[in-house]
């Protein structure tokens, strides 16, 4: 059996869950409370982050980016990273932008401050960081909106890992009622198309103790 160690609100875990489903690869999710720093888990992934994929042949693959590169090479029937060199550069560039800049300026400031700090016992949310997070989110939604207005999918004509990286972050933020979808109709339209994919069903049925998602979270016609 293939196992995915994950956390429901981790955008990196969500990206891998979406990719596994898009590639029709069955797996069993395992909740990993990274703040417990379980020795057996640190043996598999010394960085102590989620997700980590444990393949049925015993191969251990930590880090969402490493997992997605691996899945693309091991299961190439569903192409999610583009075919030409230029397409692959654009897919990877956007993934790096979402999982680097967007994650640091938005996701860490919002979900990190509001939930991860409490869950991991690292103190109280920092109101200044949260305000910075909302400001950055508004700003970045305009960039994503520009992508969604000028292309069919975020990286170009085909759906790609860039869409799933983006959906990982935005769906986790939406779960916490943090996304103002009125800022960009193009982003809202793109996200409605993402939500209606069968691969999204698991994400939309997530439950997290102590967090109630907004009514529109799982609504496909929001």
Give the burial class of 12: count Cβ atoms within 10 A of its Cβ; 0-12 exposed, 13-18 middle, 19 or more buried: buried
Output the smallest distance, CB 211 to its own copies, in A: 26
**Does residue 76 bind its own copies (CB under 8 A)?**
no
Edge-to-edge strands, sheet with 3-6 = 28-31, 3-6, 52-54, 60-62
Closest to its own copies by CB, 92 vs 188, is 92
Interface pick for its own copies out of 24, 33, 36, 89 (rule CB under 8 A): 89
| Choice between 93 and 201, CB closer to its own copies | 93
Which residue lies nearer to its own copies by CB, 69 or 126?
69
Site membership for its own copies, residue 63 (CB under 8 A): yes
Residues 118-177 binding its own copies (CB under 8 A) are 143
DSSP-assigned letter for residue 156: B
Question: Is residue 85 part of the contact set for its own copies (CB under 8 A)?
Answer: yes
Q: Which CB atom, from 6 or from 92, has the smaller least distance to its own copies? A: 92
N- to C-terminal Cα separation, the chain: 36
74 binding its own copies? (CB under 8 A):
yes
Q: Using DSSP, state whether 56 is helix, strand or coil.
A: coil
Residue selected from 23, 88, 117, 193 as contacting its own copies according to rule CB under 8 A:
88
Q: 42, 47, 157, 220: which one contacts its own copies (CB under 8 A)?
A: 47
Q: d(Cα 170, Cα 208) in Å, to the nearest integer?
A: 16
Alpha-carbon dihedral 102, 65, 161, 108, rounded to 10 degrees: -20
- Compute how many other C-beta atoms are within 10 angstroms of the C-beta atom of residue 185: 12
The residue among 83 and 207 lying less far from its own copies, judged by its C-beta, is 83
What CA–CA distance (Å, rounded) separates 6 from 52?
7
C-alpha span between 155 and 171 (Å, rounded):
18
Strand 28-31 versus strand 52-54 pairing type: unpaired
Of 61 and 141, the one with the shorter C-beta distance to its own copies is: 61
- Counted residue by residue, the chain has a size of 222
Q: Which of 31, 59, 157, 220 binds its own copies (CB under 8 A)?
A: 59
What's the min distance (Å) between Cβ of 143 and its own copies? 7
Site residues for its own copies per CB under 8 A: 46-47, 59, 61-63, 65-66, 69-70, 73-74, 85-86, 88-89, 92-93, 96-97, 100-101, 143
């Amino acid at each position: 059996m293939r196992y995915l160690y994950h956390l429901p609100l981790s955008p990196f875990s969500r990206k891998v869950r979406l990719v596994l489903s898009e590639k029709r690869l069955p797996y069993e999710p395992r909740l990993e409370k990274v703040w417990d720093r379980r020795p057996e888990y640190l043996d598999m992934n010394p960085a102590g982050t989620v997700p980590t994929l444990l393949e049925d042949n015993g191969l251990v693959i930590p880090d969402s980016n490493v997992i997605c590169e691996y899945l693309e090479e091991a299961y190439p029937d569903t192409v999610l990273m583009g075919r030409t060199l230029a397409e692959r550069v654009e897919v990877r560039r956007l993934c790096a932008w979402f999982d680097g800049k967007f994650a640091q300026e938005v996701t860490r400031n919002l979900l990190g401050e509001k939930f991860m700090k409490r869950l991991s016992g690292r103190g109280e949310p920092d109101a200044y960081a949260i305000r910075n997070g909302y400001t950055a989110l508004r700003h970045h939604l305009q960039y994503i909106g520009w992508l969604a207005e000028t292309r069919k999918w975020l990286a170009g004509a085909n759906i790609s890992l860039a869409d799933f990286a983006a959906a990982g972050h935005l769906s986790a933020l939406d779960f916490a009622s943090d996304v103002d979808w009125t800022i960009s109709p193009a982003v809202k339209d793109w996200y409605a198309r993402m939500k209606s994919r069968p691969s999204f069903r698991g994400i939309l049925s997530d439950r997290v103790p102590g967090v109630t998602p907004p009514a529109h979270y799982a609504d496909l016609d929001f």
